[in-house]
Amino acid sequence: MAENEPEKQVKSKQRVADHGEVFTAEREVNAMLDLVKPETERIDSRFLEPACGNGNFLAEILRRKLAVVERTYAKNQADYERYAVLAVSSMYGIDILHDNVTECRERLYDIFNETYTALYGAICLDECRRSVRFLLETNIVWGDALDFTNPETKQPLVLAEWSAVSSTMFQRRDYQFRFLVEKTHQFSLFSDEGDPADIDQPVKDYPLVHFLQLSEPSELSEPRFLQDV
């Protein structure tokens, strides 16, 4: 949906009947996010929307995060790119309807790309754009958040944890979604609180990768499997 189009809370009566799909209006989205405003403006604060629809909440969170990135780092393109990628990497969404997932990914990408292009024009890097697209394809997933599986394959949902470990390098670890919402993790996505013995281990652990090369396959980017998914 283009940003200047009238907001629609219902796509069809059939979708409401089949899936209870009603989108949250912009006013309510902003009112709810204002309750946790400091977190929405922290670049690396992780947000998961388990019924993300086409991204009403995630879109506003990303706008807020990118506004902070722009205010703080816009004078240095490399710094802006690194922190913009970090902001996108902190956004997670799950939806049971595949078209919503596709629409959400495109909507979030457009928010990033419009800001990025407005700032740097012809000197924008395609590598940065590819990294952002890859993050959205990885973090916004088609799934049933109630039974923790993909609706088609019935395979367990897996989410990627992204961490900035230096000025340029990112670490990726994959976790089963169901573990992230059980008791140990119910208050914080990818929580490291509590007894370390109780914290679930990642199912895949990837080598470090440059933030502009997240989407580039190579032998060095192959994951180390730690347990069966």
Helix 56-73 to helix 98-120 angle (10° resolution) is 20
Max Cα–Cα distance, the chain, nearest Å: 50
d(CA 183, CA 65): 29
Give tens-digit pLDDT for 27-76.
Answer: 887 888 889 999 999 999 999 999 898 998 999 999 999 999 999 999 99
- Confidence band for 135, pLDDT divided at 50, 70 and 90: very high
pLDDT score, position 222:
55
Handedness of CA 175, 215, 79, 66 (dihedral sign): negative
Handedness of CA 141, 146, 152, 153 (dihedral sign): positive
pLDDT score, position 4:
42
Mean pLDDT of 106-130: 97
| Most confident segment among 30-39, 74-83, 93-102, 144-153 | 74-83
Mean pLDDT for all residues in the chain: 83
pLDDT score, position 193:
52
- Confidence band for 157, pLDDT divided at 50, 70 and 90: very high
pLDDT score, position 11:
56
Structural tokens at position 138 = 């990885």
Q: Does the pLDDT at position 7 exceed 90?
A: no
Predicted model pTM = 0.81
Which amino acid does the sequence have at 23? F
pLDDT score, position 31:
87
Side-chain-side CA neighbours of 29 within 13 Å: the count stands at: 21
The better pLDDT of the pair 188, 211 is held by 211
Q: Does the pLDDT at position 191 exceed 80?
A: no
Q: Does the pLDDT at position 202 exceed 90?
A: no
Spatial neighbors of 217 by CB under 8 A, at least 6 apart, are none
Q: Does the pLDDT at position 119 exceed 80?
A: yes
